[in-house]
Amino acid sequence: NEDRNLLLSHVLCEVTEDQEHPDEIVSHIQEWQKLGFRFVADDTIGTLAAQALGKEEPNFHTTQQLERIVGNFGIVKVDMSWAGHLLFLAHPSVATRPALRQEILSHARDEDEVYMAAGPSLRKLNIKHSALLEEFADWAKSMIAQGKKICIEMSVRQEDANCAFAL
């Protein structure tokens, strides 16, 4: 019993975004939950954000796709591309490129446009930063209202000018 409690207090089961969920996923999750297991939705991304990034492959964790099953998760994790490229403008791919980071911030601050690194230069995504922030805020408020914890898998620091702009 002690070993079981230790296991259940430290193990989270992630449901990933790269495969379609079977129709019975909710009942499967609920059966595991009856045994004490907790579940996490991995790499959630806003529908608008996924479109802005041009994600061609199926993603079964857009906020819209997750609506029918999100009630079964205690934690929802934010996709790195959503958080890094589109919201906080501080994706790790530009962490060591201060000139690009500054240019990304300038476009968002001055034009309300989102750009992301594409090799040595930037690519315009043709989406308003404010629209992406609004999508995230609406989703985050909904998750909080449902008692969910939100995990952003990157460092978000107020002393970082790009992150501070989004905050």
pLDDT of residue 58: 67
**Structure letter (DSSP) for residue 21:** P
- Residue pointed to by tokens 């040595």: 120
According to the model, what pLDDT value does residue 130 have?
98
CA distances from 167 to 33, 44, 78, 145, 164 (A): 35, 19, 16, 20, 5
Compute how many other C-beta atoms are within 10 angstroms of the C-beta atom of residue 162: 22
**Residues 6-33, mean pLDDT to the nearest whole number:** 87
pLDDT single digits (tens) 124-155:
999 999 999 999 999 999 999 999 999 998 99
Please answer whether residues 85 and 116 qualify as being in contact, where contact means their C-beta atoms are separated by less than 8 angstroms: yes
What tens digit of pLDDT does each residue of 39-72 get? Answer: 999 888 898 999 999 876 666 678 888 888 899 9
Among left, alpha and beta (phi > 0; psi -120 to 50; other), residue 91 is beta
